[in-house]
Amino acid sequence: MELTVGTVLEGKVKSITNFGAFISLPENKSGLVHISEVANTYVSDIRQHLTEGQDVKVVVISMEAGKINLSMKRLEAKPQRENRPARPAPQRSNPTPPPAPKTADQLFEERLKQFMSESDSKLSSVRQYADHRTKSRRR
């Protein structure tokens, strides 16, 4: 039997690890069911779903570099979600167009204002420090 993607097989759980289970397949082949492919629900501990020696039905989902990747959850019916009322689409008003790009002169003026503001702030703190030192010497 030639294995191809989509082939459904019967296998036996050979060993279990934290990241998945190795499945013994026909013709002395083996494949891996990753923990994310065990069930349609979140699986934190694979040992709650599988035991060594258990017979399982799997589907081949990929074959890469001689490795066979299997899935059990893709053979299960997907659980139906609760009937939740659909959220209304957000109401969007007419978006305002983006502002026109600034010219080089405008960018220079903004940078100059920022520099002057920072410079004044630094100068005032230096003056306060100098005034404080001269007052303490006069005593």
Rounded average pLDDT over 51-65: 92
pLDDT digits (tens, 9 = 90+) for 86-128: 777 676 666 777 777 888 888 889 999 999 989 988 888 888 8
Nearest Cα residue to 48 out of 58, 35, 60: 35
Q: What percent of the chain has pLDDT over 70?
A: 86
Whether pTM exceeds 0.75: no
Mean pLDDT calculated for residue range 19-46: 91
Model confidence at 72: pLDDT above 80: yes
The pLDDT score that the predictor gives to residue 138 is: 56
How much is the pLDDT for 1? 65
Region class of 80: left (phi > 0), else alpha (psi between -120 and 50), else beta: beta
What pLDDT was estimated at residue 137? Answer: 60
Residues 67/32, Cβ–Cβ less than 8 Å? yes
CB 49 within 8 A of CB 86: no
Degrees to nearest 5, angle at CA 69 with 66 and 70: 140
